[in-house]
């Protein structure tokens, strides 16, 4: 998988859905008359923040974990992540009863480490640098033999994330577009994978923080541009595209819109207030871009993926 790029197929997504259904939630769609009036669009928010571990990433992680043969599964899984992928992979491994090793920077928030450990994940800390992370991860993987599940550049993960768009299409009566945040591009790629076959008339739109707009610049340039350490309130969206996600972005995404951190925080507060759900700054980027580009969305039926709900309730960005 690491040498030749394996592009997941629509059938992979269908298989993933059958495989993971017993282990994930079919999350509801939330709507708000207030937000519809405000945007002039009809917005359908898919609440992936309601997954038990709080993020859509449980879909791809479960697909990877439950797709392993018993022999491979016995050695467990391994990844490097300081975010939702680490806790979702630990959660899926716990459900299957196999080990999960996670390399995390020692500077990662204590709450994220606690969540991984609550789900039985074993953390090996590294320094907060790429070289330390890669060296540490190689050592952990050599010692455990665990199957590497990349946070997004993995066909099993992308096929798993694609199940979300399939549910949205089942839960709504037709859409004009679907908007999701873009970081590494796992959710956007899964959405493209699914809609290209299931509903090619539905445009896929990516929403990105201005302060980490490497996907936007890649999209404009026609090749991957990766930033060194971008900083934005949308801390789930800091990572760059990789070859597999770039394949989907390049071929199927219609637009990438960006929004400033202040606009993201405003949109987040609007969602908390009017949809009454707890979600992360990263998940507010779609609404922020819709409010910023009303002409592109007015009169349209728009699916929005609320990607996650893990946020520090003691440090809300508007307080």
Cα–Cα distance, 117 to 102 (Å, whole number): 10
Toward its own copies, which CB reaches closer, 50 or 248? 50
**Least Å from the CB of residue 179 to its own copies:** 20
- In Å, the largest CA–CA distance within the chain is 56
Binding range to its own copies, per CB under 8 A, among 24-32, 133-141, 250-258, 288-296:
24-32
> Which residues inside 50-79 make contact with its own copies, applying CB under 8 A?
50, 52, 54
> Which residues inside 204-233 make contact with its own copies, applying CB under 8 A?
none
Cα–Cα distance, 240 to 94 (Å, whole number): 28
Task: For tokens 């550049």, name the residue.
Answer: 153
Toward its own copies, which CB reaches closer, 91 or 257? 91
Buried b or exposed e, range 137-172, using 16+ CB within 10 angstroms: beebbeebebbbbbbbbbbbbbbbbbbbbbbbbeeb
**Least Å from the CB of residue 12 to its own copies:** 28
190 belongs to the binding site for its own copies (CB under 8 A): no
The stretches of 119-223 forming alpha helices (DSSP H) are 130-144, 155-171, 186-198, 214-221
90 belongs to the binding site for its own copies (CB under 8 A): no
**Least Å from the CB of residue 46 to its own copies:** 13
314 belongs to the binding site for its own copies (CB under 8 A): yes
Q: How many residues form the binding site for its own copies (CB under 8 A)? A: 23
Handedness of CA 205, 207, 210, 212 (dihedral sign): negative
Asked whether the beta carbons of 110 and 131 are under 8 A apart, the reply is no
- 42: Cα separation from own chain's centroid: 23
Task: Establish how many alpha carbons lie within 13 A of residue 70's alpha carbon, considering only the half-sphere containing its beta carbon.
Answer: 0
**Least Å from the CB of residue 145 to its own copies:** 29
**Least Å from the CB of residue 20 to its own copies:** 16
Encoded one letter per residue, x for contact with its own copies by CB under 8 A and - for no contact, window 243-282 reads: --------------------------x--xx-xxxxx---
Binding site for its own copies (CB under 8 A): 28, 30, 32-34, 49-50, 52, 54, 269, 272-273, 275-279, 309, 313-314, 316, 318-319
């Amino acid at each position: 998988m690491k040498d030749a790029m394996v592009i997941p197929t629509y059938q992979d997504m269908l298989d993933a859905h059958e495989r993971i259904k017993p282990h994930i939630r079919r999350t509801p769609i939330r709507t708000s008359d207030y937000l519809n009036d405000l945007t002039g669009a009809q917005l359908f928010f898919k609440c992936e923040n309601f997954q038990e571990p709080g993020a859509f990433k449980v879909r791809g992680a479960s697909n990877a974990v439950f797709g392993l043969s018993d022999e491979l599964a016995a050695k467990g899984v391994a990844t490097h992540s300081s975010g939702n992928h680490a806790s979702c992979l630990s959660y899926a491994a716990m459900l299957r009863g196999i080990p999960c090793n996670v390399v995390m920077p020692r500077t990662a928030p204590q709450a994220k480490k606690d969540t991984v450990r609550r789900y039985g994940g074993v953390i090996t800390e590294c320094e907060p640098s790429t070289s330390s992370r890669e060296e540490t991860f190689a050592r952990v993987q050599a010692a455990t033999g665990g199957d590497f599940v990349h946070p997004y550049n993995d066909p099993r993960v992308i096929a798993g994330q694609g199940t979300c768009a399939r549910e949205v299409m089942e839960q709504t009566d037709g859409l004009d577009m679907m908007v999701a945040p873009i970081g590494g591009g796992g959710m956007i790629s899964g959405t493209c994978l699914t809609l290209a076959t299931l509903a090619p008339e539905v445009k896929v739109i990516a929403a990105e923080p201005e302060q980490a707009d490497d996907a936007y610049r890649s999209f404009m340039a026609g090749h991957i541009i990766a930033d060194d350490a971008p900083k934005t309130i949308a801390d789930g969206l800091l990572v760059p595209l990789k070859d597999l996600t770039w394949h989907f972005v390049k071929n199927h995404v219609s637009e990438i819109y960006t929004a400033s951190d202040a606009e993201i925080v405003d949109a987040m507060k609007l969602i908390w207030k009017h949809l009454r759900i707890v979600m992360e700054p990263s998940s507010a980027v779609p609404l922020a871009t819709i409010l910023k580009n009303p002409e592109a969305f007015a009169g349209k039926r728009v699916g929005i993926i609320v990607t996650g709900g893990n946020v520090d309730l003691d440090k809300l960005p508007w307080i």
